[in-house]
Amino acid sequence: MKVHQIIFEKIKELLKRYFDMKKQLLFTFLLAIQTILFSQELKIEKAQPPFWWVGMENQKLQLMLYGNEVSLSSPEINYPGVELKEIIRVENPNYLFLDLEISKEAKPGIMNIVIRIGNRLIPPFQYELKERVADSTLHQGFDQSDVVYLLMPDRFSNGDTTNDNQPDMLEKADRDNPNGRHGGDIAGIKTHLGYIRDLGATTIWINPLVENNNPEYSYHGYAITDFYKIDPRFGSNADYSNLVKSAHENGLKVIMDMVFNHASVFNWLVRDLPESNWIHQFPDYTQSNFRASTITDPHASEYDRNRMLEGWFDKHMADLDQRSELLDNFLVQNSIWWIEASGIDGVRIDTQPYSYKELMTGWSNRIFKEYPNLSVVGETWLQKESITAYFQKDAHNADEYNSGIPYVTDFPMNSAINKAFNEKDGWTEGLARLYYVLAQDFLYDNAENTFVFADNHDLTRFYTSIDKDFRKWKMGMAFLMTTRGVPMLYYGTEILMTGYEHEGHGFIRKDFPGGWPGDEMDAFTSAGRTMEQNEAFDYLQRLLQWRKNTPVVYEGKLKQFVPEDEVYVYFRYDEDECVMVILNNSDNQIKALETGRFKECLDGYNYAVNVETGENINYLDVLTLPPKSVVILELKK
Ligand code: CA
């Protein structure tokens, strides 16, 4: 028993013995004494955001304080330029929200928050207001000139084996378990920034690095337990900021993966909810129907739409209800905090359509007000082009909904890429799939603001889906790098990594060979790669370097011709330059392609350079195409 508890029990005993009072009076008196004694224990365990800055566009800050019965207190702030506008108490007495206004006059420094309970003061809580770093290399944003490299941090490289296991973290490293933690970390990524740069990617998107302190299956990062902390098995918050800095020094931009739809059931906020309305709650476990079509469907039932928005993504992930103003603010400020603290260039929003769409608009408005040059891509895992386009900024929507989020992920194109080279060409099959996806680009406000990809961390790896046919792989890669949009590569695609999604996600997220001390192979070096892997790496590297130096291929217009006789031809062009891409999908036929029908693009050009081989092609009237091949030609006058 603690000392103050013993004193309390003694007083209670004495009071019972000596006072002859009415029961109610006695109770009130006891409560007052209890408050005085127990308030000595009041400690602010967490303040989130953990610090803030002076000179933000938005002068408001909503500071959340967490501590045992902190709501009994009445904080005061006396700091020049900072005004405490409102103290918000919620259902749970362990939380207090302070609405602050930080004026332009406020200077950086340590702000004392005086915490008072009745007449008792507890030691002031110190809160830091930092100075913003003015640096033009921060928050650069990405665009079509970039090639994004997506990597899963637990599976890319283990640069520091001493952080694999942490006393406070529930799940320990187990590399033999496909669904376990393997030990990859920020140090590993940092070591291999040069590898990514040399491949020719310009931007890295890392699956979430924030704390996922869950007992199992915690490696993927999407079941967050603390929104403000990098998982110690990956490194520290400072390590993350340093990674962004090193990436910038290597000419690479960084996209941070943010999750607004759900949080782990082990998240401290979920375990001790500020208000019951922060998550969607049901008597029995209720899963989302994963039908984002209900968001755009004018005929959708409320039942289905609610099920989509309110149902949980997974048993271990509580579905957040962003309609709670406090939660909404918490999430927006969390995003701003990471952007400001780390200097990242872009944000990827996980499961965008699963959050309340109006609140995502509010989120984007506030983010872009603060960081106009930042780029944001939403994960729009949707089957149709029309629904995907709906979630892009300035979409031409009948209901006038505007997400404000500029980039979407082109899943219809992903599906087409994974089918096109496996199928026999038909009216809508084979290469026609690629053609028809692009033919619907009128749906987008800006079809260039789409992420195009052959696979990602949730999908069967591309090399597996094309039956490990290297010819198809080249067709896929060449298409990605020359069609419209921002191409995205999933780590290991460049070395032909394989894996079926239906065998379990662990199989599409295998460790990058060479990322762990003692690995048999080191695919980070050409000496450590197989001949076939080197062929793939070198092809992609050449393609990426060429793309980087050929702006017409990402800035130019796109013109496509209806696929005919298993051959699909399109051009990227402007007034001065033109690139011709030809895909022959025939499994065994060499094609002699007569180019007469492409006259409108070829006129004025006399010869071409084959980008892959460097050869000059002087006769353009008939082009010879091997089976299952792609030819990229730079047309010359
Ligand atoms: Ca490690």
For 550-572, write each residue's pLDDT tens digit: 999 999 999 999 999 999 999 99
Strand order in the sheet with 120-130: 52-53, 120-130, 109-117, 76-77
For 199-246, write each residue's pLDDT tens digit: 999 999 999 999 999 999 999 999 999 999 999 999 999 999 999 999
The listed CATH number (1.20.1250.20, 3.30.70.20, 2.60.40.10, 2.60.40.2470) that belongs to domain 46-131: 2.60.40.10
CA distance 75 to 72: 10
- Give the Å distances, CA to CA, from 308 to 69, 278, 289, 313, 353: 36, 17, 5, 9, 9
Equal fold, 46-131 vs 556-636: yes
**Residue 507 CA, ligand 1 centroid: distance in Å:** 20
- The predicted pLDDT at position 37 comes to 54
HSE, CB side, 13 Å, CA atoms: give it for residue 20: 0
If DSSP codes are grouped into helix, strand and coil, which group holds residue 579? strand
Output phi, psi for 414, to 5 deg: -60, -45
Q: Average the pLDDT over each of 24-38, 280-294, 323-337, 481-495 and give the range with the smallest value.
A: 24-38
Residue 417 and residue 480 in contact, taking contact as beta carbons nearer than 8 Å: yes
Residue 192 has pLDDT above 90, yes or no: yes
**Average pLDDT score over residue span 314-330:** 97
- The predicted pLDDT at position 122 comes to 80
**Residue 209 CA, ligand 1 centroid: distance in Å:** 13
Residue 552 and residue 572 in contact, taking contact as beta carbons nearer than 8 Å: yes
CA distance 492 to 461: 9
Tokens of 609: 């350079």
CA distance 457 to 208: 12
- The predicted pLDDT at position 341 comes to 97
**Average pLDDT score over residue span 248-263:** 98
For 423-451, write each residue's pLDDT tens digit: 999 999 999 999 999 999 999 999 999 99
Residue 17 has pLDDT above 90, yes or no: no
Q: Average the pLDDT over each of 13-27, 68-82, 109-123, 564-578 and give the range with the smallest value.
A: 13-27
**Residue 376 CA, ligand 1 centroid: distance in Å:** 29
Q: What is the pTM of this model?
A: 0.93
Tokens of 47: 């303040």
CA 334 to chain centre: 14
CA distance 547 to 579: 11
- Give the Å distances, CA to CA, from 285 to 174, 182, 302: 30, 30, 19
**Residue 157 CA, ligand 1 centroid: distance in Å:** 8
Pairing of strands 82-89, 95-102: antiparallel
Which DSSP symbol is given to 432?
H
Dihedral of alpha carbons 219, 150, 538, 191, sign:
negative
- The predicted pLDDT at position 425 comes to 97
Q: Which of 364, 464, 469 is nearest to 408 (CA)?
A: 364
If DSSP codes are grouped into helix, strand and coil, which group holds residue 547? helix
- pLDDT over 90 percentage in the chain: 91
Residue 43 and residue 67 in contact, taking contact as beta carbons nearer than 8 Å: yes
For 125-173, write each residue's pLDDT tens digit: 999 999 998 888 899 999 999 999 999 999 999 999 999 999 999 999 9
For 344-402, write each residue's pLDDT tens digit: 999 999 999 999 999 999 999 999 999 999 999 999 999 999 999 999 999 999 999 99
Please list the active-site residues.
350, 379
Q: Which of 431, 434, 414 is nearest to 422 (CA)?
A: 431
- The predicted pLDDT at position 29 comes to 55
**Residue 165 CA, ligand 1 centroid: distance in Å:** 8
Output phi, psi for 630, to 5 deg: -130, 140
CA distance 486 to 147: 6
- Please indicate whether residue 53 or residue 116 has the higher confidence score (pLDDT): 53
**Average pLDDT score over residue span 175-192:** 98
**Residue 188 CA, ligand 1 centroid: distance in Å:** 8
Tokens of 289: 């129907």
Tokens of 585: 């999908």
- The predicted pLDDT at position 12 comes to 64
Integer-rounded Cα Rg, in Å, for the chain is 29
Query: How confident is residue 7, by pLDDT bands cut at 50, 70 and 90?
Result: low
- Give the Å distances, CA to CA, from 156 to 267, 462, 491: 25, 18, 8
Residue 509 has pLDDT above 60, yes or no: yes
- The predicted pLDDT at position 279 comes to 98
**Average pLDDT score over residue span 80-94:** 98
- The predicted pLDDT at position 54 comes to 97
Does domain 556-636 fall under CATH 3.30.465.10? My reply is no
Q: Residues lining ligand 1 (ion), CB within 5 A?
A: 158, 160, 163-164, 183, 185
Residue 277 has pLDDT above 90, yes or no: yes
**Distance linking the first and last C-alpha atoms of the chain:** 90
- Which residues sit opposite 433 in a β-bridge? none
Longest dimension (CA), the chain: 112
Residue 19 has pLDDT above 60, yes or no: no
- The predicted pLDDT at position 1 comes to 46
By CB neighbour count within 10 A (0-12 exposed, 13-18 middle, 19+ buried), where does 473 fall?
buried
What mean pLDDT, rounded, does the chain reach?
A: 94
The owner of tokens 């998107």 is 205
**Residue 181 CA, ligand 1 centroid: distance in Å:** 9
CA distance 434 to 572: 15
The C-alpha angle 364, 367, 371, rounded to 5 degrees, equals 130
Residue 415 has pLDDT above 90, yes or no: yes
- The predicted pLDDT at position 121 comes to 79
> Can you give the residue ranges of every domain in the chain?
1-41, 46-131, 148-554, 556-636
- Which residues sit opposite 128 in a β-bridge? 110
Pairing of strands 52-53, 76-77: unpaired
Residue 83 and residue 100 in contact, taking contact as beta carbons nearer than 8 Å: yes
- The predicted pLDDT at position 28 comes to 54
- Please indicate whether residue 100 or residue 27 has the higher confidence score (pLDDT): 100
Residue 338 and residue 371 in contact, taking contact as beta carbons nearer than 8 Å: no
Span 148-554 CATH architecture: Alpha-Beta Barrel (3.20)
